[in-house]
A = this chain, B = another copy of it.
Amino acid sequence: MKECDPFAVSQTLMARIQKGAFLTVKAGESLNAMTIGWGLIGIIWQRPVFMVAVRDSRHTFTIIEKASDFTVSVPTSDMKEALMFCGTKSGRNVDKFEALGLVPMAAKQTVSPVIKLKGIHLECLIRFRAPMNPALLDKALEELYPAKDYHTLYFGEIVACYETDAS
């Protein structure tokens, strides 16, 4: 495990996240991982922040709404199959960790675990939530919401960032 500066690895993060990363959230006994392909990184409120977007229709949404933190695990090796599975199956119907042999690994600063993989991990404390108001969305983006299941944006203060070799 090697600590890293989230901004020093931001180019890698963005390139990899477009291919898929795991957003893992735990609240009480509920734990789920979903595939994300989007994310913003930077500084706001004088803190390093990572922002993720979760549609209200997702199983993860019901968990993250009760959670105080989340993690993002970004594989730097090929995990196409697991990412595809986590992006298309719902944690309501299947235990993704068991089905895929994904191993949750205790995080350092968050209740939500990270995923055991070769890659970069971000541990984030949720500081602000913004449910999308469709009235303030540009028309150009409406086609992404045919079912009107808008995203809620979660802004997490990055409290730990590190690379792992475990795959």
Q: Which residues of A contact B (CB under 8 A)?
A: 7-8, 10-11, 14-15, 17-18, 37-46, 49, 51, 53, 125-133, 136-138, 140-141, 144, 153
Q: Would A127 and B133 count as touching, CB distance under 8 A?
A: no
The answer to whether A51 touches B45 (Cβ under 8 A) is no
Give complex CA distance A132, B46 in Å.
Answer: 16
Residues of B within 8 A of A133 (CB): 130
Say whether, besides A45-B144, A51-B42, A8 and B7 are in contact (CB < 8 Å). no
Q: Are B42 and A14 touching (Cβ within 8 A)?
A: yes
With beta carbons under 8 angstroms apart, the residue of B41, B53, B129 that contacts A10 is B41
Copies in the complex: 2
Docked-complex contact A130 and B141, CB < 8 angstroms: no
Pair B153/A130 contact, Cβ less than 8 Å: yes
Contact, CB under 8 Å: A45 / B7: no
When distances are taken between beta carbons in the complex, the residues of chain B under 8 Å from A127 are 137-138, 140-141
Chain B contacts for A7, CB-based, 8 A: 10-11, 14-15
